[in-house]
Chain A
Amino acid sequence: MRLSVAAAISHGRVYRRFGLSPRSRLDLLRNLVTALVRHERIETPWARADEMRGYAERLIDYAKRGDKDERAMRMADFWLTEKDLIHKLFKVLAPRFQPHAGSYTRLLQIPNRDGLDRAKMAVIELKGNPLPPLVRPRRDSDRTLLNQLLKGYRQDAQRARG
Protein backbone atom coordinates (compact mmCIF):
# COMPACT_ATOMS: atom_id res chain seq x y z
CA MET A 1 0.00 0.00 0.00
CA ARG A 2 1.41 3.34 -1.02
CA LEU A 3 1.47 5.64 2.00
CA SER A 4 3.20 8.56 0.35
CA VAL A 5 4.31 9.61 -3.09
CA ALA A 6 7.87 10.87 -2.94
CA ALA A 7 8.59 13.31 -5.74
CA ALA A 8 11.48 12.62 -8.14
CA ILE A 9 11.57 8.86 -7.42
CA SER A 10 10.47 6.72 -10.35
CA HIS A 11 11.25 3.18 -9.24
CA GLY A 12 9.46 0.64 -11.37
CA ARG A 13 7.82 3.13 -13.76
CA VAL A 14 7.86 1.54 -17.24
CA TYR A 15 6.44 4.30 -19.41
CA ARG A 16 8.88 6.95 -20.64
CA ARG A 17 7.92 10.62 -20.64
CA PHE A 18 7.61 12.27 -24.06
CA GLY A 19 6.23 15.57 -25.29
CA LEU A 20 4.49 18.17 -23.19
CA SER A 21 2.01 16.05 -21.24
CA PRO A 22 0.68 12.44 -21.06
CA ARG A 23 -1.90 13.28 -23.73
CA SER A 24 0.84 14.73 -25.94
CA ARG A 25 2.89 11.57 -25.39
CA LEU A 26 -0.01 9.44 -26.64
CA ASP A 27 -0.49 11.71 -29.65
CA LEU A 28 3.20 11.42 -30.51
CA LEU A 29 3.12 7.62 -30.27
CA ARG A 30 -0.12 7.55 -32.23
CA ASN A 31 1.53 9.45 -35.09
CA LEU A 32 4.40 6.99 -35.06
CA VAL A 33 2.06 3.98 -35.12
CA THR A 34 0.15 5.49 -38.06
CA ALA A 35 3.42 6.08 -39.92
CA LEU A 36 4.55 2.51 -39.24
CA VAL A 37 1.30 1.05 -40.55
CA ARG A 38 1.47 3.26 -43.64
CA HIS A 39 5.15 2.89 -44.56
CA GLU A 40 5.99 -0.42 -42.82
CA ARG A 41 9.47 0.84 -41.94
CA ILE A 42 10.35 4.06 -40.13
CA GLU A 43 13.47 5.64 -38.70
CA THR A 44 13.05 7.46 -35.41
CA PRO A 45 14.88 7.97 -32.08
CA TRP A 46 15.39 4.67 -30.30
CA ALA A 47 13.40 5.59 -27.19
CA ARG A 48 10.32 6.51 -29.24
CA ALA A 49 10.61 3.36 -31.36
CA ASP A 50 10.94 1.20 -28.25
CA GLU A 51 7.91 2.83 -26.62
CA MET A 52 5.83 2.63 -29.78
CA ARG A 53 6.61 -1.04 -30.39
CA GLY A 54 4.38 -2.29 -27.59
CA TYR A 55 1.43 -0.20 -28.73
CA ALA A 56 1.85 -1.30 -32.37
CA GLU A 57 1.95 -4.99 -31.46
CA ARG A 58 -1.09 -4.72 -29.22
CA LEU A 59 -2.94 -2.94 -32.03
CA ILE A 60 -2.17 -5.85 -34.37
CA ASP A 61 -3.39 -8.28 -31.69
CA TYR A 62 -6.67 -6.36 -31.58
CA ALA A 63 -6.84 -6.38 -35.39
CA LYS A 64 -6.47 -10.18 -35.39
CA ARG A 65 -9.83 -10.38 -33.59
CA GLY A 66 -11.44 -9.30 -36.86
CA ASP A 67 -13.13 -6.07 -37.90
CA LYS A 68 -16.58 -7.14 -36.67
CA ASP A 69 -15.27 -6.79 -33.11
CA GLU A 70 -16.45 -3.50 -31.58
CA ARG A 71 -13.42 -2.99 -29.32
CA ALA A 72 -10.99 -3.74 -32.14
CA MET A 73 -12.66 -1.18 -34.40
CA ARG A 74 -12.63 1.48 -31.66
CA MET A 75 -8.94 0.82 -30.97
CA ALA A 76 -8.05 1.04 -34.65
CA ASP A 77 -10.13 4.19 -34.97
CA PHE A 78 -8.24 5.85 -32.12
CA TRP A 79 -4.74 4.71 -32.99
CA LEU A 80 -4.78 5.27 -36.76
CA THR A 81 -5.32 8.92 -37.56
CA GLU A 82 -5.48 8.27 -41.33
CA LYS A 83 -8.67 6.33 -41.81
CA ASP A 84 -7.67 4.47 -45.01
CA LEU A 85 -5.09 2.63 -42.91
CA ILE A 86 -7.86 0.95 -40.89
CA HIS A 87 -8.74 -0.99 -44.03
CA LYS A 88 -5.08 -1.85 -44.57
CA LEU A 89 -4.74 -2.99 -40.95
CA PHE A 90 -7.71 -5.39 -41.02
CA LYS A 91 -7.33 -6.65 -44.59
CA VAL A 92 -3.53 -6.81 -45.05
CA LEU A 93 -1.72 -6.87 -41.71
CA ALA A 94 -4.10 -9.12 -39.75
CA PRO A 95 -3.97 -12.00 -42.31
CA ARG A 96 -0.19 -11.51 -42.71
CA PHE A 97 0.41 -11.99 -38.98
CA GLN A 98 -2.22 -14.66 -38.34
CA PRO A 99 0.38 -17.49 -38.16
CA HIS A 100 2.68 -15.43 -35.87
CA ALA A 101 2.17 -15.69 -32.10
CA GLY A 102 3.63 -12.28 -31.26
CA SER A 103 6.64 -10.04 -32.15
CA TYR A 104 5.37 -8.56 -35.39
CA THR A 105 8.00 -5.81 -35.43
CA ARG A 106 11.77 -5.69 -35.68
CA LEU A 107 13.75 -2.95 -33.92
CA LEU A 108 17.36 -2.33 -34.99
CA GLN A 109 19.74 0.37 -33.93
CA ILE A 110 21.42 2.53 -36.59
CA PRO A 111 24.37 4.94 -36.32
CA ASN A 112 23.66 8.13 -34.36
CA ARG A 113 21.84 10.97 -36.10
CA ASP A 114 24.01 13.35 -38.18
CA GLY A 115 22.63 16.53 -36.60
CA LEU A 116 23.95 18.43 -33.60
CA ASP A 117 22.17 16.21 -31.07
CA ARG A 118 23.74 12.88 -32.23
CA ALA A 119 20.60 11.11 -31.02
CA LYS A 120 20.47 7.32 -30.73
CA MET A 121 18.34 6.30 -33.71
CA ALA A 122 16.56 3.08 -34.54
CA VAL A 123 14.65 1.69 -37.47
CA ILE A 124 11.45 -0.22 -36.69
CA GLU A 125 9.73 -2.31 -39.35
CA LEU A 126 6.88 -4.77 -39.63
CA LYS A 127 8.06 -8.27 -40.48
CA GLY A 128 7.15 -9.52 -43.93
CA ASN A 129 7.24 -6.08 -45.54
CA PRO A 130 7.94 -5.82 -49.30
CA LEU A 131 10.92 -3.47 -48.87
CA PRO A 132 14.58 -4.56 -49.22
CA PRO A 133 15.87 -6.41 -46.12
CA LEU A 134 17.95 -4.49 -43.58
CA VAL A 135 20.04 -7.41 -42.35
CA ARG A 136 21.08 -10.39 -44.42
CA PRO A 137 21.13 -13.60 -42.38
CA ARG A 138 24.63 -15.02 -42.52
CA ARG A 139 25.33 -18.70 -42.32
CA ASP A 140 28.52 -19.82 -40.65
CA SER A 141 31.33 -20.68 -43.02
CA ASP A 142 31.83 -24.34 -43.98
CA ARG A 143 35.40 -24.20 -42.65
CA THR A 144 34.53 -23.93 -38.96
CA LEU A 145 35.41 -26.92 -36.78
CA LEU A 146 31.83 -27.73 -35.85
CA ASN A 147 30.65 -27.58 -39.45
CA GLN A 148 33.50 -29.77 -40.64
CA LEU A 149 32.70 -32.36 -37.95
CA LEU A 150 29.02 -32.31 -38.87
CA LYS A 151 29.91 -32.68 -42.53
CA GLY A 152 32.10 -35.69 -41.73
CA TYR A 153 29.27 -37.19 -39.63
CA ARG A 154 26.80 -36.72 -42.48
CA GLN A 155 29.22 -38.36 -44.97
CA ASP A 156 29.75 -41.30 -42.63
CA ALA A 157 26.01 -41.74 -42.17
CA GLN A 158 25.48 -41.65 -45.94
CA ARG A 159 28.25 -44.19 -46.51
CA ALA A 160 26.77 -46.45 -43.86
CA ARG A 161 23.34 -46.21 -45.47
CA GLY A 162 24.57 -46.72 -49.05
Chain B
Amino acid sequence: VLVLVRSPLPRLRVLLQRCWGRLERGLWPGIFGGQGLPWGPALAVQGPALVPQGISDAGAPNLPESVVWMAAPKQRRTIEVNRCRRRNPNKLIEIKRNIDVCPECGNLKQKHVLCGYCYAKVKEETRLIRMEIYKKEGGPFNAPTVETVVLYEGEKPTEKDEGKRIIERARKRPSWFVQN
Protein backbone atom coordinates (compact mmCIF):
# COMPACT_ATOMS: atom_id res chain seq x y z
CA VAL B 1 0.00 0.00 0.00
CA LEU B 2 1.61 3.14 -1.13
CA VAL B 3 0.19 6.30 0.38
CA LEU B 4 1.73 9.55 -0.57
CA VAL B 5 0.50 12.47 1.48
CA ARG B 6 2.02 15.79 0.96
CA SER B 7 0.38 18.62 2.90
CA PRO B 8 1.77 22.08 3.39
CA LEU B 9 0.48 22.42 6.98
CA PRO B 10 3.06 21.04 9.45
CA ARG B 11 0.46 20.14 12.14
CA LEU B 12 -1.63 18.10 9.71
CA ARG B 13 1.53 16.27 8.54
CA VAL B 14 2.42 15.44 12.13
CA LEU B 15 -1.08 14.11 12.78
CA LEU B 16 -1.02 11.96 9.68
CA GLN B 17 2.41 10.56 10.61
CA ARG B 18 1.06 9.66 14.06
CA CYS B 19 -2.01 7.92 12.58
CA TRP B 20 0.18 6.01 10.17
CA GLY B 21 2.45 4.91 12.99
CA ARG B 22 -0.48 3.55 14.98
CA LEU B 23 -1.76 1.70 11.95
CA GLU B 24 1.62 0.01 11.36
CA ARG B 25 1.91 -1.04 14.96
CA GLY B 26 -1.48 -2.62 14.85
CA LEU B 27 -2.93 -0.44 17.54
CA TRP B 28 -5.84 0.64 15.31
CA PRO B 29 -7.55 -2.56 14.27
CA GLY B 30 -10.62 -2.74 12.02
CA ILE B 31 -9.49 -0.20 9.39
CA PHE B 32 -8.40 -2.67 6.70
CA GLY B 33 -10.35 -5.68 7.83
CA GLY B 34 -7.42 -7.55 9.45
CA GLN B 35 -7.34 -8.65 13.05
CA GLY B 36 -5.43 -6.53 15.55
CA LEU B 37 -3.32 -7.79 18.46
CA PRO B 38 -4.09 -11.31 19.60
CA TRP B 39 -6.63 -10.92 22.34
CA GLY B 40 -6.43 -13.01 25.49
CA PRO B 41 -9.04 -14.12 27.96
CA ALA B 42 -11.21 -11.30 29.41
CA LEU B 43 -13.88 -10.90 32.00
CA ALA B 44 -17.21 -12.49 31.04
CA VAL B 45 -20.42 -10.78 32.16
CA GLN B 46 -23.90 -12.31 32.33
CA GLY B 47 -25.90 -11.53 29.19
CA PRO B 48 -29.26 -10.00 30.08
CA ALA B 49 -27.86 -7.29 32.40
CA LEU B 50 -25.83 -5.80 29.55
CA VAL B 51 -28.35 -6.32 26.74
CA PRO B 52 -31.91 -6.38 28.10
CA GLN B 53 -34.11 -8.58 25.93
CA GLY B 54 -37.57 -7.44 27.03
CA ILE B 55 -37.94 -4.56 24.56
CA SER B 56 -38.45 -6.48 21.31
CA ASP B 57 -41.17 -8.87 22.59
CA ALA B 58 -43.30 -6.26 24.39
CA GLY B 59 -46.60 -7.14 22.60
CA ALA B 60 -49.65 -5.71 24.38
CA PRO B 61 -48.81 -3.48 27.42
CA ASN B 62 -49.96 -4.81 30.79
CA LEU B 63 -53.04 -2.55 31.40
CA PRO B 64 -56.04 -3.62 33.49
CA GLU B 65 -59.22 -4.58 31.59
CA SER B 66 -61.29 -1.69 32.96
CA VAL B 67 -59.25 0.93 31.03
CA VAL B 68 -61.23 3.17 28.61
CA TRP B 69 -59.86 3.38 25.09
CA MET B 70 -60.11 6.99 23.85
CA ALA B 71 -60.54 8.05 20.22
CA ALA B 72 -57.42 9.35 18.60
CA PRO B 73 -56.64 10.30 15.02
CA LYS B 74 -55.05 7.53 13.03
CA GLN B 75 -53.46 9.61 10.32
CA ARG B 76 -52.13 13.09 10.05
CA ARG B 77 -54.63 15.34 8.24
CA THR B 78 -52.98 16.63 5.09
CA ILE B 79 -52.75 20.31 4.40
CA GLU B 80 -55.20 19.94 1.49
CA VAL B 81 -57.85 18.43 3.75
CA ASN B 82 -57.12 21.04 6.40
CA ARG B 83 -57.49 23.84 3.87
CA CYS B 84 -60.82 22.46 2.66
CA ARG B 85 -62.12 22.46 6.22
CA ARG B 86 -60.74 25.86 7.25
CA ARG B 87 -61.82 27.71 4.11
CA ASN B 88 -65.31 26.24 3.86
CA PRO B 89 -67.78 29.17 3.42
CA ASN B 90 -69.59 28.41 6.67
CA LYS B 91 -66.36 29.08 8.57
CA LEU B 92 -65.51 32.36 6.88
CA ILE B 93 -66.71 35.69 8.30
CA GLU B 94 -69.98 36.77 6.66
CA ILE B 95 -69.72 39.92 4.60
CA LYS B 96 -72.16 42.64 5.56
CA ARG B 97 -74.25 44.02 2.73
CA ASN B 98 -76.29 46.42 4.87
CA ILE B 99 -73.75 49.28 5.05
CA ASP B 100 -74.85 52.61 3.60
CA VAL B 101 -73.81 56.26 3.60
CA CYS B 102 -75.51 58.63 6.04
CA PRO B 103 -77.24 61.36 3.98
CA GLU B 104 -76.55 64.01 6.65
CA CYS B 105 -72.82 63.67 7.33
CA GLY B 106 -71.57 61.17 4.73
CA ASN B 107 -70.16 58.67 7.23
CA LEU B 108 -70.86 54.99 6.88
CA LYS B 109 -73.72 53.50 8.84
CA GLN B 110 -75.65 50.25 8.96
CA LYS B 111 -79.12 50.52 7.49
CA HIS B 112 -81.04 49.69 10.67
CA VAL B 113 -78.69 51.56 13.06
CA LEU B 114 -78.37 55.29 13.72
CA CYS B 115 -75.31 57.07 12.27
CA GLY B 116 -72.56 57.14 14.92
CA TYR B 117 -71.39 60.66 14.11
CA CYS B 118 -74.83 62.22 14.07
CA TYR B 119 -75.76 60.41 17.29
CA ALA B 120 -72.58 61.64 18.99
CA LYS B 121 -73.50 65.22 17.99
CA VAL B 122 -76.99 64.88 19.44
CA LYS B 123 -75.65 63.18 22.59
CA GLU B 124 -73.23 66.05 23.25
CA GLU B 125 -75.94 68.67 22.80
CA THR B 126 -78.29 66.70 25.10
CA ARG B 127 -75.57 66.57 27.74
CA LEU B 128 -75.15 70.37 27.66
CA ILE B 129 -78.93 70.88 27.83
CA ARG B 130 -79.11 68.52 30.82
CA MET B 131 -76.34 70.50 32.56
CA GLU B 132 -78.44 73.65 32.13
CA ILE B 133 -81.51 71.81 33.49
CA TYR B 134 -79.56 70.65 36.51
CA LYS B 135 -78.33 74.18 37.20
CA LYS B 136 -81.90 75.47 36.97
CA GLU B 137 -83.35 72.77 39.21
CA GLY B 138 -80.65 73.35 41.80
CA GLY B 139 -80.62 69.91 43.37
CA PRO B 140 -81.76 66.30 43.01
CA PHE B 141 -85.43 65.23 42.97
CA ASN B 142 -86.78 68.57 41.74
CA ALA B 143 -88.55 67.38 38.60
CA PRO B 144 -90.92 70.13 37.39
CA THR B 145 -94.65 69.60 36.87
CA VAL B 146 -94.69 71.53 33.58
CA GLU B 147 -93.26 70.82 30.14
CA THR B 148 -89.81 72.08 29.12
CA VAL B 149 -88.69 73.97 26.01
CA VAL B 150 -85.11 74.71 24.91
CA LEU B 151 -84.37 78.16 23.45
CA TYR B 152 -81.14 79.29 21.88
CA GLU B 153 -79.58 82.74 21.59
CA GLY B 154 -81.90 85.46 20.42
CA GLU B 155 -85.08 83.38 20.49
CA LYS B 156 -88.33 84.35 22.14
CA PRO B 157 -90.90 81.87 23.45
CA THR B 158 -93.83 81.54 21.03
CA GLU B 159 -97.50 81.28 22.03
CA LYS B 160 -97.17 77.46 22.00
CA ASP B 161 -94.57 77.66 24.82
CA GLU B 162 -97.00 79.39 27.17
CA GLY B 163 -96.77 77.55 30.49
CA LYS B 164 -93.49 75.78 29.86
CA ARG B 165 -90.23 75.99 31.75
CA ILE B 166 -87.58 77.63 29.52
CA ILE B 167 -84.01 76.29 29.31
CA GLU B 168 -81.58 78.74 27.75
CA ARG B 169 -78.56 77.60 25.78
CA ALA B 170 -75.85 80.17 25.10
CA ARG B 171 -75.20 79.39 21.46
CA LYS B 172 -76.73 79.68 18.01
CA ARG B 173 -79.43 77.13 17.20
CA PRO B 174 -77.87 74.16 15.34
CA SER B 175 -79.27 73.53 11.87
CA TRP B 176 -80.40 70.01 12.70
CA PHE B 177 -82.50 71.08 15.73
CA VAL B 178 -85.60 72.55 14.15
CA GLN B 179 -87.78 74.72 16.38
CA ASN B 180 -91.45 73.75 16.47
Contact = CB atoms under 8 A, between A and B. Distances in A.
Contacts of B178: 133, 136
B147 A92 contact: yes
Given A132-B125, A133-B177, A136-B104, A84 B143 contact: yes
Nearest to B144: A88
Interface in A108-161: 108-111, 123, 130-136, 138
A136 B116 CA distance: 14
Among B116, B145, B146, chain A packs the most CB atoms within 10 A around the CB of B145
A41 B167 contact: no
Chain A binding surface, main DSSP class: mixed
Chain B binding surface, main DSSP class: loop
B152 to A, nearest CB: 11
Given A41-B126, A87-B143, A132-B125, A110 B114 contact: yes
A4 B176 CA distance: 58
B112 to A, nearest CB: 6
Chain B interface size range? 20 to 34
Among B104, B123, B149, B176, chain A packs the most CB atoms within 10 A around the CB of B123
A88 B119 contact: no
Contacts of A132: 122, 125-126, 129, 150, 174, 176-177
A138 B101 CA distance: 14
A82 B141 contact: yes
Contacts of A87: 143, 145
Among B141, B143, B145, chain A packs the most CB atoms within 10 A around the CB of B143
A96 B178 CA distance: 20
Chain A interface size range? 20 to 34
Given A84-B143, A92-B147, A110 B116 contact: yes
A111 B115 CA distance: 8
Contact of B149 (A108, A130, A138): A130
A120 B102 CA distance: 20
Interface in B101-134: 103-104, 110, 112-114, 116, 119, 122-123, 125-126, 129-130
A59 interface: no
Interface in B62-112: 103-104, 110, 112
Nearest to B140: A82
A130 B148 contact: yes
Contacts of B145: 87-88, 91-92
A85 interface: yes
A85 B143 contact: yes
B142 interface: yes
Contacts of B123: 43
The 10 lowest CB-CB distance pairs between A and B, nearest first, are A91-B145, A132-B177, A130-B148, A111-B116, A88-B143, A84-B143, A84-B141, A109-B113, A87-B145, A110-B114
Interface of B: 103-104, 110, 112-114, 116, 119, 122-123, 125-126, 129-130, 141-150, 167, 174, 176-178
